[in-house]
Chain A
Protein backbone atom coordinates (compact mmCIF):
# COMPACT_ATOMS: atom_id res chain seq x y z
CA UNK A 1 0.00 0.00 0.00
CA UNK A 2 2.86 2.22 0.96
CA UNK A 3 4.50 2.05 -2.44
CA UNK A 4 1.22 2.81 -4.11
CA UNK A 5 0.82 5.99 -2.11
CA UNK A 6 4.33 7.21 -2.82
CA UNK A 7 4.74 6.25 -6.42
CA UNK A 8 1.34 6.52 -8.01
CA UNK A 9 -0.15 9.59 -6.53
CA UNK A 10 -1.68 11.75 -9.19
CA UNK A 11 -4.55 10.61 -11.29
CA UNK A 12 -6.93 13.01 -12.94
CA UNK A 13 -9.76 12.34 -15.32
CA UNK A 14 -9.52 12.77 -19.06
CA UNK A 15 -11.50 16.00 -19.02
CA UNK A 16 -8.77 18.40 -17.94
CA UNK A 17 -6.48 17.16 -20.71
CA UNK A 18 -9.12 17.66 -23.39
CA UNK A 19 -9.77 21.16 -22.02
CA UNK A 20 -6.07 22.04 -22.13
CA UNK A 21 -5.83 20.63 -25.66
CA UNK A 22 -8.74 22.84 -26.76
CA UNK A 23 -7.06 25.79 -25.08
CA UNK A 24 -3.80 25.08 -26.90
CA UNK A 25 -5.63 24.89 -30.24
CA UNK A 26 -7.41 28.18 -29.51
CA UNK A 27 -4.11 29.85 -28.63
CA UNK A 28 -2.58 28.52 -31.86
CA UNK A 29 -5.45 30.14 -33.76
CA UNK A 30 -4.85 33.36 -31.84
CA UNK A 31 -1.13 33.33 -32.72
CA UNK A 32 -1.94 32.96 -36.41
CA UNK A 33 -4.56 35.72 -36.23
CA UNK A 34 -2.16 38.10 -34.49
CA UNK A 35 0.63 37.30 -36.97
CA UNK A 36 -1.75 38.37 -39.78
CA UNK A 37 -2.26 41.80 -38.23
CA UNK A 38 0.23 44.58 -38.74
CA UNK A 39 1.18 45.79 -35.28
CA UNK A 40 4.89 46.24 -35.84
CA UNK A 41 7.21 45.34 -33.00
CA UNK A 42 4.37 43.94 -30.92
CA UNK A 43 3.94 41.02 -33.31
CA UNK A 44 6.95 39.06 -32.04
CA UNK A 45 6.26 40.02 -28.42
CA UNK A 46 2.67 38.78 -28.69
CA UNK A 47 3.80 35.58 -30.41
CA UNK A 48 6.31 34.88 -27.64
CA UNK A 49 3.81 35.64 -24.88
CA UNK A 50 1.23 33.30 -26.42
CA UNK A 51 3.90 30.60 -26.90
CA UNK A 52 4.90 31.00 -23.25
CA UNK A 53 1.30 30.58 -22.10
CA UNK A 54 1.04 27.43 -24.23
CA UNK A 55 4.34 26.18 -22.82
CA UNK A 56 3.09 26.83 -19.29
CA UNK A 57 -0.10 24.84 -19.94
CA UNK A 58 1.90 21.89 -21.27
CA UNK A 59 4.34 22.03 -18.35
CA UNK A 60 1.70 22.40 -15.64
CA UNK A 61 -0.96 19.99 -16.89
CA UNK A 62 0.46 17.60 -19.50
CA UNK A 63 3.78 17.24 -17.70
CA UNK A 64 2.06 17.10 -14.28
CA UNK A 65 4.25 19.83 -12.84
CA UNK A 66 1.39 21.18 -10.72
CA UNK A 67 1.24 17.81 -8.91
CA UNK A 68 4.97 17.53 -8.35
CA UNK A 69 6.73 18.65 -5.19
CA UNK A 70 8.30 22.07 -4.80
CA UNK A 71 11.70 20.60 -5.69
CA UNK A 72 10.68 20.00 -9.33
CA UNK A 73 9.42 23.56 -9.69
CA UNK A 74 12.55 25.05 -8.14
CA UNK A 75 14.72 22.95 -10.47
CA UNK A 76 12.80 24.18 -13.50
CA UNK A 77 12.98 27.77 -12.32
CA UNK A 78 16.76 27.49 -11.89
CA UNK A 79 17.14 26.03 -15.40
CA UNK A 80 14.87 28.72 -16.89
CA UNK A 81 16.67 31.42 -14.92
CA UNK A 82 20.04 30.55 -16.41
CA UNK A 83 18.61 30.40 -19.92
CA UNK A 84 16.98 33.82 -19.48
CA UNK A 85 20.17 35.24 -17.94
CA UNK A 86 22.09 34.02 -21.00
CA UNK A 87 19.61 35.80 -23.27
CA UNK A 88 19.68 39.03 -21.27
CA UNK A 89 23.47 39.19 -20.95
CA UNK A 90 23.97 38.40 -24.61
CA UNK A 91 21.48 41.01 -25.77
CA UNK A 92 22.72 43.68 -23.40
CA UNK A 93 26.16 43.11 -24.90
CA UNK A 94 24.98 42.83 -28.46
CA UNK A 95 22.62 45.82 -28.54
CA UNK A 96 25.09 48.35 -27.14
CA UNK A 97 28.34 47.45 -28.81
Chain B
Protein backbone atom coordinates (compact mmCIF):
# COMPACT_ATOMS: atom_id res chain seq x y z
CA UNK B 1 0.00 0.00 0.00
CA UNK B 2 2.63 2.46 1.07
CA UNK B 3 4.89 1.31 -1.74
CA UNK B 4 2.08 2.03 -4.16
CA UNK B 5 1.65 5.52 -2.76
CA UNK B 6 5.32 6.27 -3.29
CA UNK B 7 5.21 5.08 -6.88
CA UNK B 8 2.12 7.14 -7.41
CA UNK B 9 3.79 10.24 -5.98
CA UNK B 10 6.78 9.78 -8.26
CA UNK B 11 4.73 9.54 -11.41
CA UNK B 12 2.70 12.66 -10.70
CA UNK B 13 5.44 15.22 -10.50
CA UNK B 14 4.09 18.69 -9.89
CA UNK B 15 5.86 20.12 -12.82
CA UNK B 16 4.80 21.14 -16.28
CA UNK B 17 7.73 22.16 -18.40
CA UNK B 18 5.67 22.38 -21.56
CA UNK B 19 3.31 24.77 -19.79
CA UNK B 20 6.27 26.77 -18.51
CA UNK B 21 7.72 27.09 -22.00
CA UNK B 22 4.35 27.95 -23.48
CA UNK B 23 3.96 30.69 -20.86
CA UNK B 24 7.35 32.06 -21.88
CA UNK B 25 6.35 32.02 -25.54
CA UNK B 26 3.15 33.92 -24.73
CA UNK B 27 5.26 36.55 -23.01
CA UNK B 28 7.56 36.68 -26.03
CA UNK B 29 4.53 37.38 -28.23
CA UNK B 30 3.82 40.51 -26.18
CA UNK B 31 7.43 41.51 -26.81
CA UNK B 32 6.86 40.89 -30.51
CA UNK B 33 3.89 43.26 -30.46
CA UNK B 34 5.87 45.85 -28.45
CA UNK B 35 8.75 45.93 -30.93
CA UNK B 36 6.41 45.28 -33.85
CA UNK B 37 4.61 48.54 -33.11
CA UNK B 38 7.93 50.37 -33.28
CA UNK B 39 8.86 48.67 -36.53
CA UNK B 40 5.54 49.89 -37.94
CA UNK B 41 6.34 53.47 -36.91
CA UNK B 42 9.80 53.06 -38.42
CA UNK B 43 8.49 51.74 -41.75
CA UNK B 44 5.90 54.52 -42.12
CA UNK B 45 8.45 57.26 -41.48
CA UNK B 46 11.04 55.62 -43.67
CA UNK B 47 8.42 55.44 -46.42
CA UNK B 48 7.66 59.14 -45.90
CA UNK B 49 11.26 60.38 -45.56
CA UNK B 50 13.47 57.98 -47.57
CA UNK B 51 16.23 60.51 -48.40
CA UNK B 52 16.44 61.88 -44.87
CA UNK B 53 16.70 58.37 -43.45
CA UNK B 54 19.55 57.53 -45.83
CA UNK B 55 21.33 60.73 -44.93
CA UNK B 56 20.88 60.29 -41.18
CA UNK B 57 22.00 56.63 -41.30
CA UNK B 58 25.41 57.76 -42.57
CA UNK B 59 26.09 59.01 -39.05
CA UNK B 60 25.83 55.45 -37.71
CA UNK B 61 28.95 53.38 -37.29
CA UNK B 62 28.50 50.28 -39.47
CA UNK B 63 31.64 48.65 -38.05
CA UNK B 64 30.36 48.81 -34.45
CA UNK B 65 26.95 47.65 -35.68
CA UNK B 66 28.49 44.66 -37.47
CA UNK B 67 30.69 43.84 -34.49
CA UNK B 68 27.69 43.91 -32.17
CA UNK B 69 25.77 41.66 -34.56
CA UNK B 70 28.57 39.08 -34.46
CA UNK B 71 28.78 39.39 -30.66
CA UNK B 72 25.05 38.87 -30.20
CA UNK B 73 24.88 35.93 -32.61
CA UNK B 74 27.79 34.32 -30.78
CA UNK B 75 26.10 34.91 -27.43
CA UNK B 76 23.05 33.10 -28.77
CA UNK B 77 25.31 30.16 -29.61
CA UNK B 78 26.86 30.08 -26.11
CA UNK B 79 23.37 30.29 -24.58
CA UNK B 80 22.11 27.38 -26.71
CA UNK B 81 25.10 25.15 -25.95
CA UNK B 82 24.87 25.91 -22.22
CA UNK B 83 21.50 24.11 -22.35
CA UNK B 84 23.02 21.17 -24.25
CA UNK B 85 25.74 21.00 -21.58
CA UNK B 86 23.21 20.91 -18.72
CA UNK B 87 21.25 18.21 -20.58
CA UNK B 88 24.44 16.15 -20.59
CA UNK B 89 24.90 16.92 -16.85
CA UNK B 90 28.11 18.87 -17.52
CA UNK B 91 27.53 21.53 -14.90
CA UNK B 92 30.84 23.41 -15.09
CA UNK B 93 30.69 23.48 -18.87
CA UNK B 94 27.15 24.87 -18.74
CA UNK B 95 28.25 27.50 -16.21
CA UNK B 96 31.17 28.42 -18.47
CA UNK B 97 28.87 28.96 -21.46
CA UNK B 98 26.40 30.94 -19.36
CA UNK B 99 29.27 33.11 -18.18
CA UNK B 100 30.45 33.50 -21.79
CA UNK B 101 26.95 34.68 -22.72
CA UNK B 102 27.02 37.32 -19.98
CA UNK B 103 30.52 38.36 -21.02
CA UNK B 104 29.45 38.81 -24.65
CA UNK B 105 26.33 40.70 -23.57
CA UNK B 106 28.48 43.08 -21.52
CA UNK B 107 30.81 43.45 -24.50
CA UNK B 108 27.76 44.40 -26.58
CA UNK B 109 26.73 47.02 -24.03
CA UNK B 110 30.25 48.49 -23.82
CA UNK B 111 30.23 48.94 -27.61
CA UNK B 112 26.79 50.51 -27.34
CA UNK B 113 28.14 52.88 -24.69
CA UNK B 114 31.00 54.04 -26.94
CA UNK B 115 28.65 54.29 -29.91
CA UNK B 116 26.16 56.45 -28.05
CA UNK B 117 28.70 58.70 -26.33
CA UNK B 118 30.36 59.34 -29.71
CA UNK B 119 26.95 60.51 -30.99
CA UNK B 120 26.40 62.66 -27.90
CA UNK B 121 29.79 64.27 -28.53
CA UNK B 122 28.64 65.16 -32.02
CA UNK B 123 25.56 66.74 -30.45
CA UNK B 124 23.23 64.04 -31.76
CA UNK B 125 20.76 63.12 -29.05
CA UNK B 126 17.02 63.61 -28.71
CA UNK B 127 16.20 67.29 -28.30
CA UNK B 128 19.75 68.55 -28.97
CA UNK B 129 20.27 71.87 -30.78
CA UNK B 130 22.27 70.19 -33.57
CA UNK B 131 19.52 67.69 -34.22
CA UNK B 132 16.66 70.18 -34.03
CA UNK B 133 18.31 72.17 -36.84
CA UNK B 134 18.15 69.13 -39.13
CA UNK B 135 15.18 68.07 -41.25
CA UNK B 136 12.22 66.42 -39.55
CA UNK B 137 13.03 63.10 -41.27
CA UNK B 138 16.48 63.05 -39.64
CA UNK B 139 15.03 63.97 -36.24
CA UNK B 140 12.59 61.08 -36.58
CA UNK B 141 15.36 58.69 -37.64
CA UNK B 142 17.43 59.44 -34.57
CA UNK B 143 14.38 59.41 -32.30
CA UNK B 144 13.58 55.91 -33.55
CA UNK B 145 17.23 54.89 -33.39
CA UNK B 146 17.57 55.87 -29.73
CA UNK B 147 14.17 54.48 -28.79
CA UNK B 148 14.52 51.12 -30.53
CA UNK B 149 18.16 50.35 -29.86
CA UNK B 150 17.69 51.77 -26.34
CA UNK B 151 14.76 49.47 -25.59
CA UNK B 152 16.73 46.61 -27.11
CA UNK B 153 19.71 47.52 -24.90
CA UNK B 154 17.42 47.47 -21.87
CA UNK B 155 16.42 43.94 -22.85
CA UNK B 156 20.09 42.98 -23.07
CA UNK B 157 20.63 44.28 -19.52
CA UNK B 158 17.59 42.35 -18.24
CA UNK B 159 18.95 39.28 -20.04
CA UNK B 160 22.31 39.67 -18.25
CA UNK B 161 20.52 39.75 -14.87
CA UNK B 162 18.43 36.71 -15.81
CA UNK B 163 21.46 34.67 -16.92
CA UNK B 164 23.30 35.69 -13.72
CA UNK B 165 20.39 34.22 -11.75
CA UNK B 166 20.59 31.07 -13.86
CA UNK B 167 24.31 30.71 -13.06
CA UNK B 168 23.43 30.82 -9.38
CA UNK B 169 20.59 28.32 -9.86
CA UNK B 170 22.86 26.01 -11.85
CA UNK B 171 25.60 26.08 -9.24
CA UNK B 172 23.04 25.41 -6.47
CA UNK B 173 21.51 22.50 -8.37
CA UNK B 174 18.12 24.19 -8.81
CA UNK B 175 18.81 24.03 -12.54
CA UNK B 176 19.99 20.50 -13.28
CA UNK B 177 20.17 17.91 -16.08
CA UNK B 178 16.58 16.75 -15.41
CA UNK B 179 15.10 20.14 -14.53
CA UNK B 180 16.40 22.95 -16.69
CA UNK B 181 13.25 24.70 -17.89
CA UNK B 182 14.29 27.94 -16.14
CA UNK B 183 17.51 28.00 -18.11
CA UNK B 184 15.64 27.12 -21.27
CA UNK B 185 13.14 29.96 -20.81
CA UNK B 186 15.99 32.39 -20.16
CA UNK B 187 17.46 31.10 -23.41
CA UNK B 188 14.19 31.75 -25.23
CA UNK B 189 14.24 35.33 -23.96
CA UNK B 190 17.86 35.75 -24.99
CA UNK B 191 17.25 34.43 -28.50
CA UNK B 192 14.30 36.80 -28.94
CA UNK B 193 16.60 39.69 -28.07
CA UNK B 194 18.91 38.33 -30.77
CA UNK B 195 16.10 38.13 -33.35
CA UNK B 196 15.11 41.74 -32.68
CA UNK B 197 18.69 42.82 -33.29
CA UNK B 198 18.77 40.77 -36.51
CA UNK B 199 16.04 43.11 -37.82
CA UNK B 200 17.33 46.31 -36.22
CA UNK B 201 20.80 45.96 -37.71
CA UNK B 202 19.98 46.17 -41.45
CA UNK B 203 17.18 48.71 -40.89
CA UNK B 204 19.40 51.21 -39.08
CA UNK B 205 23.02 50.52 -39.96
CA UNK B 206 22.83 49.36 -43.56
CA UNK B 207 20.63 51.92 -45.30
CA UNK B 208 23.20 54.61 -46.13
Q: Which residues of A contact B (CB under 8 A)?
A: 2-4, 6-8, 11-14, 17-18, 20-21, 24-25, 28, 31-32, 35, 43-44, 47-48, 50-51, 54-55, 58-59, 61-64, 68-69, 71-72, 75-76, 79-80, 82-83, 86-87, 90-91, 94-95
CB contacts (< 8 Å) of A62 on chain B: these are 76-77, 79-80, 187, 191, 194
Nearest A residue to B84 via CB reads A14
Interface centre among B18, B26, B80 (most CB of A within 10 A): B80
Tell me, in angstroms, the Cα distance from A28 to B194 when the chains sit together.
13
Residue B74 is within 8 A (CB to CB) of chain A in the complex: yes
Residue B22 is within 8 A (CB to CB) of chain A in the complex: yes
A75 touches B25 (CB 8 A): yes
CB contacts (< 8 Å) of A17 on chain B: these are 77, 80-81, 84
Chain A: minimal CB distance from B105 (Å): 15
CB contacts (< 8 Å) of B33 on chain A: these are 79, 82-83
CB contacts (< 8 Å) of A69 on chain B: these are 18
Q: Which residues of B contact A (CB under 8 A)?
A: 10-11, 13, 15, 17-18, 21-22, 25-26, 29, 32-33, 36, 40, 43-44, 47, 62, 66, 69-70, 73-74, 76-77, 79-81, 84, 87-88, 177-181, 184, 187-188, 191-192, 194-195, 198-199, 201-203, 206-207
B202 touches A50 (CB 8 A): yes
- The secondary structure that dominates the A interface is helix
Given contact pairs A63-B187, A76-B29, a sample of 9 additional A-B residue pairs in the complex whose CB atoms are under 8 Å apart: A7-B17, A18-B77, A24-B73, A25-B70, A32-B206, A35-B202, A62-B194, A75-B25, A95-B47
A-B contacts, 11 of them at CB < 8 A, read: A12-B84, A13-B84, A47-B203, A48-B199, A51-B198, A55-B195, A62-B76, A62-B80, A72-B25, A86-B40, A91-B44
